[in-house]
Chain A
Amino acid sequence: GENVEQHPSTLSVQEGDSAVIKCTYSDSASNYFPWYKQELGKGPQLIIDIRSNVGEKKDQRIAVTLNKTAKHFSLHITETQPEDSAVYFCAASIGGNNRLAFGKGNQVVVIP
């Protein structure tokens, strides 16, 4: 299967708190897992990614963790700011051409 599921669908956090979004995937052959941020009226923006040979990756306030055994990966945003408010999508690569299967997205709202 090529299912990617995200939880929760909506997440509200106070400014300065952390936000965590979790995804699960079904294709055990997937080896690349990007996260995208999408603002209203814009295309998805790649914010961080991780490959299957790595368990964790961090870039400033954003980090991603991967558990291949359990087939789940998570996005962590620390010290959230109002500009972090957006829809976040996780994805998993499928097949030799690396097409992406996306989750349904998480609406993150950072409350000032």
Chain B
Amino acid sequence: DTGVSQDPRHKITKRGQNVTFRCDPISEHNRLYWYRQTLGQGPEFLTYFQNEAQLEKSRLLSDRFSAERPKGSFSTLEIQRTEQGDSAMYLCASSSTVEQYFGPGTRLTVT
């Protein structure tokens, strides 16, 4: 399968813990996006990478969130000191031009 992959698919954590998600984009896609989706809503943009450079961040991305794409391939999204409001599906998408292809997402539940 050469699509976008995300790991883990599900994560349950207690409030206050740190979590990290990984995204592997489609090979040779230089653009990578993170979105967050809550129940009954469309995805909301969080941040954008072109190669290893983080070029855009949403105001939704609080100081507790950090994302990296160290070698311009896979990316990680870390949430520190998780809160119940962080419970959502975290989606990654990659692109080489304008079409964005999404991975299956990581569903985070904060208890």
Contacts and interface: CB of A to CB of B under 8 A. Distances in A.
Contacts of B55: 97
A44 B48 contact: no
B67 interface: no
Contacts, number: 61
Contacts of B43: 44, 89, 100, 102
A44 B91 contact: yes
A1 interface: no
Nearest to A99: B45
Nearest to A49: B99
B100 A100 contact: yes
Q: Is the interface of B mostly helix, strand, loop or mixed?
A: strand
Contacts of B98: 32, 49, 51, 93, 98
Contacts of A100: 33, 35, 43, 45, 100
B56 interface: yes
A109 to B, nearest CB: 16
B42 A89 contact: yes
B106 to A, nearest CB: 10
A43 B91 contact: yes
A94 B57 CA distance: 13
Contacts of A91: 42
A44 B45 contact: no
Interface residues of B, number: 25
A75 B102 CA distance: 20
Contacts of B28: none
B85 interface: no
A95 B101 contact: no
A32 B100 CA distance: 11
26 contacts: A32-B98, A34-B100, A42-B105, A43-B4, A43-B91, A43-B103, A43-B104, A44-B43, A44-B102, A46-B101, A49-B98, A49-B99, A89-B43, A94-B45, A97-B48, A99-B33, A99-B48, A99-B56, A100-B33, A100-B35, A100-B100, A102-B42, A102-B43, A105-B40, A105-B41, A105-B42
